[in-house]
Amino acid sequence: PAQSVQPGRPFGGVCSFSIPAEAMHSFLGTNNRVEWVLKVHTGVKGWVDHKTDFPLHVCPRMVQGS
């Protein structure tokens, strides 16, 4: 959502997201890998857009015994 930014003041934001339970966890093998990246694209009217990638480490989910 759009927010106001005051000149000379720091700006920050908070968001949340979910990784699907059935998704593969991060993995690094000899010949392949699964990497997760959070891509952030910010745009301010009259300014150049800014894009940043944040690597994520997704752990394997716990499986309950039957």
* 5 domain-assigned: no
Per-residue pLDDT reduced to its tens digit, 4-52: 778 888 888 788 989 998 899 999 999 999 999 999 998 878 889 999 9
Count: domains in the chain:
1
In a domain, 42, yes or no: yes
Residue 36 domain boundaries: 19-61
Tell me, yes or no, whether 31 lies in a domain: yes
> Is residue 6 domain-resident?
no
Does residue 8 fall inside a structural domain? no
User: What's the rounded Cα separation, in Å, for the pair 10 and 26?
Assistant: 33
Is residue 66 included in any domain, yes or no? no
Give me the pLDDT at residue 29, please: 95
Q: What is the pTM of this model?
A: 0.65
Instruction: Give the alpha-carbon dihedral of 3, 12, 52, 42, to 10 degrees.
Output: 10
Asked, for residue 14, whether it belongs to a domain, the answer is no
